[in-house]
Chains A and B, each alone.
Chain A
Amino acid sequence: MKMREPLFHIAKRRRMDFWKAWLIRIVAVLFALVVSGLVSYLLTKTNPIEIYQTMWKGSFKNARYIWNLAQGIAILLCVSLAVTPAFKMRFWNIGAEGQALIGGLVAATCMLKLEGAMPSWLLILVMLCGSMLAGAIWGLVPAVFKAKWGTNETLFTLMMNYIAIQIVSYFTYIWAVPAGSGKIGIINQKSQIGWLPALFGQKYLINILVVLAVTVIIFVYLKYSKHGYELSVVGESENTARYIGINVKKVIIRTMILSGALCGLAGFLLVAGTDHTIDSNTVAGRGFTAIMVSWLAKFNPFSMILTSLLIVFLQRGAGQVATDMGLNESFSDIITGIIIFFIIGCEFFINYQIKRTGRREESK
Chain B
Amino acid sequence: MFAAFLQRAIMQGIPLLYGSTGEIITEKSGNLNLGIPGIMYVGGISGVIGAFFYEHFSPAMNPFLAVLIPFLCSLVGSLLMGLIYSFLTVTLRANQNVTGLALTTFGVGIGNFFGGSLTRLVQSEVPSVSLPKTSAFFKTSLPFAKNLGVIGDIFFSHGFMVYLAILIALVAAYILKRTRVGLHLRAVGESPATADADGINVSRYKYLATCIGSMIAGLGGLYYVVDYVGVWSNDGFGDRGWLAIALVIFAVWRPNSAVLGSLLFGGLYIVHNYITGFGVAAQELFKMTPYVVTILVLIITSIREKRESQPPQSLGLSYFREER
Interface residues, chain A, CB within 8 Å of chain B? 10-12, 92, 94, 145, 149-152, 154-156, 158-160, 162-163, 166-167, 169-171, 173-174, 180, 182, 285, 288-289, 291-292, 295-296, 327-334, 336-338, 340-341, 344-345, 347-348, 351-352
Contact = CB atoms under 8 A, between A and B. Distances in A.
Most buried by A among B292, B298, B305: B298
A152 B311 contact: yes
6 contacts: A12-B323, A145-B302, A167-B288, A328-B115, A330-B111, A333-B113
A214 to B, nearest CB: 22
A162 B242 contact: yes
Contact of A12 (B99, B103, B107, B320): B320
A334 B285 contact: no
A235 to B, nearest CB: 13
Contacts of B234: 330
B101 A149 contact: no
Given A162-B288, A173-B281, A340 B102 contact: yes
Interface in B280-324: 280-282, 284-285, 287-288, 291-292, 294-295, 298-299, 302-303, 305, 311, 316, 320, 322-323
Interface string B98-124: 110111111111111101110010000
A159 B246 contact: yes
B249 A155 contact: yes
Interface residues of B, number: 58
B97 interface: yes
B281 A149 contact: no
Contacts of B105: 285, 288-289, 333, 336-337, 340
B288 to A, nearest CB: 4
Nearest to A326: B120
B274 to A, nearest CB: 17
A163 B280 contact: no
B109 A336 contact: yes
Contacts of A173: 279-281, 284
A168 to B, nearest CB: 9
B269 to A, nearest CB: 11
Interface stretch (B54-62, B86-94, B208-216): B86-94
B180 to A, nearest CB: 24
Given A10-B322, A291-B98, A344-B88, 10 more contacts: A149-B299, A154-B34, A154-B316, A160-B295, A162-B239, A173-B280, A173-B284, A344-B92, A344-B99, A348-B94
A332 B108 CA distance: 11
Contacts of B284: 166, 169-170, 173
Contact of B88 (A292, A333, A341): A341
Given A328-B116, A330-B109, A336-B105, A154 B97 contact: yes
A172 B280 CA distance: 11
Contact of B93 (A154, A295, A348): A348
Contacts of B299: 145, 149, 151
Given A162-B288, A170-B284, A352-B93, A333 B112 contact: yes
A261 B22 CA distance: 36
Contacts of B320: 10, 12
Nearest to A285: B105
A138 to B, nearest CB: 13
A151 B305 CA distance: 10
